[in-house]
Amino acid sequence: MSTRRSRQHDPVEGADKKRLSRKSIQTALRIFNYIQPYRAMFIAGMIFLLISSFTTMTFPYLMGKLIDTASLKDSQSLFANTNTMALILVGLLVVQAGISFFRVYLFATVTERAMSDVRQVLYNKLVTLSIPFFEERRVGELTSRSTNDVDQLQDMLSMTLPEFIRQVVTIVFGVGFIFFISPQLTLLMISTFPILIILALVYGKFIRRLSKQRQDALADSNIVVEETMQNITTVKSYANEQFESNRYKSYMEKVVIAGIKGAVNRGAFTTFIIFGLFGGFVLVLWYGAVLMKQGELTAGTLTSFMLYTGFIGGAVGGLGDLYGRLQKTVGASERVFDILDTESEVPLEDTPAASHPKIRGEIRFADVRFSYPTRKDVEVLKGINLHIKSGEKVALAGSSGAGKSTIAQLVLGFYTPDAGSIDIDNQSYGEYSLKWLRNNMAVVPQEVILFGGTILDNIAYGKPGASEAEVVAAARKAHAWEFIEGFPEGLYTIVGERGVKLSGGQRQRIAIARAILKDPAILILDEATSSLDAESERLVQDALEVLMENRTTIIIAHRLSTIRNVDQIFVLKNGNIKESGTFEELAAQQGGVFANLLRLQLLGKENVVL
């Protein structure tokens, strides 16, 4: 049972590092478009970075000169030269410190502002994408795009890019300096690099493979935690705390084993690198001492050479890490721009009301066929024909999976029919702005999930910018004011994450108040009273009666006894409308689909929902 769920990694897992190609690099470079508004500061930061890098490269040379002053026999000259060199070094340190401060400040300012823009653009894109887009992706994945991936891009601009430039300057100018100092020593030093680099690349791949194994094992253990937290009531009701603890422990043992194996190999790899680097360092130092003995080098020159060698070695050694970080950046940029390049369903800005006719609420489906994008092989609606007049109250009845909710989602424009047409007020759906249509619709779902702010925020969501008086009026009509004024903070009561601080009936009335405030032409109710107690159901039902006045209403019925007073009922079965009529007409049809469903609920099964 410990393997009851197969591994389902976030797409980031295992794809964190992206193989570099011309196309992937071009995608990553698009991030610089967001630096354009701050290019003056960015260029200034680059100038400070170059000055800082060149300044750093003068230290080994000056320190060698400082040591060479010690070989002068004139004590007066020794004192003067030593102090002069020391003052020059101190002056360079002060300049370097100041330059580094401005470099860090400028890069931090640019990257923070640019990445804030990226996050805003990414969020704007997400909220304008279609429902099918979200059905094909996990929430955790999308959250990771706007947090982890953007952080990765920020690290590239603020750390990886400056570090790469610094290391390139160090390698190019460092090699130039040491070749100028001693071509013989330089050739000896460079000859040790290829062996170390080749072995490091080969062994590095093996180390990364072991690291991936540990990441996979840790991902499996995280799935256990996620499952347990999501099903905590089931765990506790079955008293399986110990079972879950043991299950998690078994996965953690795999993490530990993989981690130790990786650590041992990393230790061996590190030992080899240290031995190789210091071995080469000793070899160069020995040959330098020989050249000193022959009078071809001074102590200061050898010191400068060894310091430059250390700088170059550190820069070359860091290229592997920089390459890995660059791979991560390319992968992150592709995932971010994959979202940004997706076509939006609706514009972010509101469309002026004057550019659209007023919606009356007449709805017509003509031979509509539909399959969900994620289940194209299953046809959910099979030639639906229905007509809902403006201001009419209709119900969609049928067993689970018959297509009731699908019709409501098509009315909302969440999906496009595969065939047939949908008209609103005798105009094709496509002739309207989708955002304008939705501005004239409201939904009260069966299970209301509120935003984590105040009651005022949640009601006003139906009409952003509404006054407090308008919110109170809507709350009164929804029979929500009775419990709202009972809270010490009233409208400013925090409802908690997803509205957990309120009861189901209270959340329903908040949702109804929100819909009342919006004043839509078309109202969709996913029967809001099927899971409430009698008192809450009465209050919610009264509020719904107020809400449904003078507007087209589509009720997704789960309990047939609650739709007695609608104007028309459409009965669905297997994606087709089998019957339509009033409650009394359908109930009187012996052997009819509706009559059979009604009989099942009335025979002591009132709580059976459809």
- The domain segmentation of the chain, as residue ranges, is 19-181+329-345, 183-296, 360-602
* Backbone phi, psi, residue 103, to 5°: -60, -50
Residues 6+ apart with CB under 8 A from 60: 177, 303, 304, 307, 308, 311
Residue 426 identity: N
CB 109 within 8 A of CB 86: no
Q: Which of the 8 DSSP states describes residue 356?
A: S
Q: What is the pLDDT of residues 342-369, one digit of tens each?
A: 888 877 776 555 567 788 999 999 999 9
Instruction: Please give the Cα distance from 275 to 258 (Å, whole number).
Output: 26
pLDDT of 94 > 80? The answer is yes
Read off the pLDDT of residues 157-196 as tens digits, 9 standing for 90 and up.
Answer: 888 888 888 888 888 888 888 888 888 888 887 777 777 7
Report the relative pairing of strands 568-573 and 576-581 from DSSP bridges.
Answer: antiparallel
**Are 478 and 516 a contacting pair, CB within 8 Å?**
yes
Place of tokens 């007049």: 389
pLDDT, residue 226, reads 82
DSSP-H helix ranges across 30-74: 39-69
pLDDT for residue 12: 41
Highest mean pLDDT among 292-296, 541-545, 581-585: 581-585
Q: Which CATH architecture has domain 19-181+329-345?
A: Up-down Bundle (1.20)
pLDDT at residue 531, rounded to an integer: 54
Average pLDDT over residues 568-587: 90
The per-residue pLDDT for range 471-485, each reduced to its tens digit, is 999 998 888 888 898
Taking the mean position of all CA atoms in its chain, how far away is CA 395? 38
Pick the closest to residue 540 from 495, 500, 506 (CA basis): 506
Among residues 454, 474, 450, the alpha carbon closest in space to that of 463 is found at 474
Q: Which residues make Cβ contacts (< 8 Å) with residue 220, sequence separation at least 6?
A: 7, 251, 254
Strands annotated E in 251-379: 363-370
Q: What is the pTM of this model?
A: 0.76
Please give the single-letter amino acid code of residue 41. M
For residue 14, the model assigns a pLDDT of 42
- Report angle CA 490, 493, 496 to the nearest 5 degrees: 155
Which of 59-73, 251-265, 439-453, 567-581 ranks highest by mean pLDDT? Answer: 567-581
Fold match, 19-181+329-345 / 360-602: no
Q: Which residue has the tokens 């887009």?
A: 133
Give the span between the Cα atoms of 439 and 498, in whole angstroms: 23
Question: Bigger pLDDT: 216 or 18?
Answer: 216
| Region label for 433, one of left (φ > 0), alpha (ψ between -120 and 50) or beta (otherwise) | beta
The residues, any chain, with a CB within 8 Å of residue 233's CB and separated by 6 or more, are none
What are 498's two structure tokens? 């997803």
Is 517's pLDDT higher than 70?
A: yes
The correct CATH number of 360-602 out of 3.40.50.720, 3.90.1150.10, 3.40.50.300, 2.30.30.170 is: 3.40.50.300
Q: Each residue of 24-58: pLDDT tens digit? A: 778 888 888 999 999 999 999 999 999 988 888 88
Token code pair at residue 36: 């354009």
Distances in whole angstroms, Cα of residue 299 to Cα of each of 113, 159, 321, 439: 49, 36, 34, 81
Q: Higher pLDDT residue, 585 or 606?
A: 585
Per-residue model confidence (pLDDT) at position 355: 60
Of 324-338, 339-353, 383-397, the range with the lowest mean pLDDT is: 339-353
Q: What order do you get walking across the sheet with 419-424 strand by strand?
A: 381-388, 363-370, 419-424, 427-428
Of the chain, the percentage scoring pLDDT greater than 90 comes to: 19
- Output the pLDDT for position 364: 93
Pairing verdict, β 522-526 and 552-556: parallel
| Residue 139 and residue 55 in contact, taking contact as beta carbons nearer than 8 Å | no
